[in-house]
Structure 1
Amino acid sequence: MNKPFAIAIHGGAGTILHAQMTDEIQRAIEQALDQAVSQSHQLLAQGGSAVDAVVCAVRILEDSPHFNAGKGSVLTAKEMVEMDAAVMSGEHRQVGSVAGVRHIKNPVQLAKDVMQQSEHVMLIGEGAEEFAAKLGYDYTEQDYFFTDRRYEQLLAMKAEGTTALSESRYPDDHKFGTVGAVALDQDGNLAAATSTGGITNKQFGRVGDSPIIGAGTYAENHNVAISATGMGEAFIRCCVASDIAARMRYLREDVHTACTAVIQGEVKNLGGEGGVIAIDRSGEIHFGMNCEGMYRSCIDIHGKKQIKIYADEV
């Protein structure tokens, strides 16, 4: 008998404006989502692990300039990229996380290697890059990550003295840039991965929720895997991913009820905006958001594929 497997991915949530979404931009975003979800699903279909599937999906999104992770990362106040990522395996709750890396093409891959090839859970900054060098990673110059779009965003925010745009040229400049994936494999294992470039014009080595286990990333076999995207500080304060998992574990809430309770409840009450993707032990998928949109896609246990952008798409 075939065992269920499924995957869901996201490319960030927030204010995504219909009026500024061109056909060209929408096609490019949807193509990247399609490639990520399709290739990772194929890996699962061939018996691959949930961990490998979520890393595969996130790597593809990191390689696209259309998402705030890897190649498309936003710029800090010092006109550099500082990227964070995490991977969690639900089987033994193994974790790998990196923060503040500047010269790693695919931070999610490094997070996986921290999980599988080190004694540690989280590595940051220069230390994380020293670990990467020891494993033979290529040193990626900052020029690789630089895009005109992100530079324009930085200049606009510096002019306003903020870390949030009041006006934008792009449909998603008010979106919280994170990419992530959750998966269930044929062995019944769950996994989650999240990667981000952080926030534009950030200072002081700020780190958001993406690499924080229990905030932006979490996976627990026989329960749920979660990847979040939103106002990182609010998601950390609410322990979003951990809270969803706890509601399912102790209150026996289903994945839809638990996600909705957290995203539309405590997070929203604190002024936090964003969303989550989640998959439970049976492969049931949930996309939850309290904002206007989230780049998202999935292939469920029946092989049905969906690619959506706006909150009002059912």
Structure 2
Amino acid sequence: MTETTDTAARWSLAIHGGAGAMTPEIMDAAMAAEYEAALATALEAGAAVLRDGGSALDAVSAAVSALEDDPHFNAGRGAVFTYHGTNELDAAIMDGRNRAAGAVSAVTRTRNPVQLARVVMEQGPHVFLAGAGAEEFARDHGMAEVDPAWFATAERRCQLDEFKSRKDGWFDADLKFGTVGAVARDANGDLAAATSTGGLTGKRWNRIGDSPVIGAGTYADNRACAVSCTGTGEVFIRVGVAHEIAARMRLAGEDVATATRAVLGEVGHLGGVGGIIAVDAEGTLTHAFNTNGLYRGFADHTGRAEVGIFGPA
């Protein structure tokens, strides 16, 4: 846990790169080291902002952008393929100061969807844009675009081919949730959260999970906490996971760790799996997962900087 001193310089940051069915038996030391290095790079991108007195909003945007650019994770470059062989990207960001939020879904050309979500929040009249409309908004606001092929990787294509060769239905039963996210508390005491994903391998019909849904996969409120989730999106939406954690803290007086574990327990009761990272108004970081592992990292004003995959949930 993060120290909760009264120093004005107190800040804290948590990131995640998804939860899933990975195990130490199938992930050798070299592969684990690759993921840990990628997590460390993204963690430092966000920590550097906070260390220099920057905002929580800038920190989560920097960390998630770094994760989107890294093909190890299911967001941005390296996103999974839809059933029809395309990459459809979703992202959301939220400012705990005033509960301003922005979200995008089914974008195919914006290099960093989390940055587009922030522009939607700060420069648009709406909270949530999707598909061609979101892409038009991105062009109107000068967002960096790439050819859709930039997001594609050979590994993700193989995963789609393997998925389509099955005879056991359309849902990705392997439960490799590579969604990425970050939560932060800055030295001013402000909170922010951001989440980005490529969704599920083989998804159809413009399926949208919890990541871009404010209150489900992403939420930030200075009165309680900032939360980013990864997992069975349909269940996380039904539970309203991120908002539920904040509500339990505000209305029932639960601490962030208790609320997070209780809500993840509810997800599990409904048959869902995944992971959660959260930070409260004092800068206390917590995480929980009910899968084999959660790609994660934590940093704060004390010099803490650590990443992990397995270990205690």
Alignment partner of 1:140: what SS?
coil
Could you say which residue in structure 2 is the equivalent of 1:145? 151
Q: Distance in 2 between matches of 1:233 and 1:163?
A: 15
Instruction: Note if contact 2:47-2:300 (Cα within 8 Å) is conserved in structure 1.
Output: no
Q: Does residue 278 of structure 1 match 2:278?
A: yes
Q: Distance in 2 between matches of 1:252 and 1:293?
A: 29
Could you say which residue in structure 1 is the equivalent of 2:221? 220
Alignment partner of 2:77: what SS?
helix
Tell me the TM-score normalised to structure 1 length: 0.95
Structure 1 residues 243 and 165: CA distance shift in structure 2, 3 A: closer
Q: Does residue 16 of structure 1 match 2:22?
A: yes
Could you say which residue in structure 2 is the equivalent of 1:236? 237
Q: Distance in 2 between matches of 1:308 and 1:66?
A: 15
Could you say which residue in structure 1 is the equivalent of 2:185? 184
Q: Does residue 65 of structure 1 match 2:66?
A: no
Amino acid across the alignment from 1:237: R
Could you say which residue in structure 2 is the equivalent of 1:37? 43
Q: Distance in 1 between matches of 2:249 and 2:172?
A: 36
Amino acid across the alignment from 1:243: E
Task: Give the unaligned 5+ runs of structure 1.
Answer: 167-172
Task: Count residues with an aligned counterpart.
Answer: 306
Alignment of 1:189-268 (within 5 A): 189-264=190-265, 266-268=266-268
Could you say which residue in structure 2 is the equivalent of 1:290? 290
Could you report, residue by residue, the CA deviation over 1:5-48 in whole angstroms, capped at 9, with x for unpaired residues? 01000000121121121233212211111011112111111111
- Shift in Å at residue 50 of structure 1? 0.4
Amino acid across the alignment from 1:241: A
Instruction: Note if contact 2:95-2:192 (Cα within 8 Å) is conserved in structure 1.
Output: yes
Q: Distance in 1 between matches of 2:155 and 2:76?
A: 14
Amino acid across the alignment from 2:154: D
Q: Distance in 1 between matches of 2:119 and 2:256?
A: 29
Could you report, residue by residue, the CA deviation over 1:265-311 in whole angstroms, capped at 9, with x for unpaired residues? x111100000100000011000111111100001134221221101x
Identity within the alignment, %:
48
Tell me the TM-score normalised to structure 2 length: 0.95
- Shift in Å at residue 81 of structure 1? 0.2
Q: Distance in 1 between matches of 2:105 and 2:235?
A: 18
Q: Distance in 2 between matches of 1:313 and 1:220?
A: 27
Amino acid across the alignment from 2:116: L
The equivalent position to 1:131 in structure 2, one of 120, 134, 137, is: 137
- Shift in Å at residue 165 of structure 1? 5.4
Q: Distance in 1 between matches of 2:229 and 2:143?
A: 27
- Shift in Å at residue 146 of structure 1? 1.2
Structure 1 residues 6 and 260: CA distance shift in structure 2, 3 A: same
Superposition RMSD in Å:
1.3
Q: Distance in 2 between matches of 1:218 and 1:199?
A: 21
Could you say which residue in structure 1 is the equivalent of 2:166? 160
- Shift in Å at residue 3 of structure 1? 2.7
Q: Distance in 2 between matches of 1:22 and 1:260?
A: 29
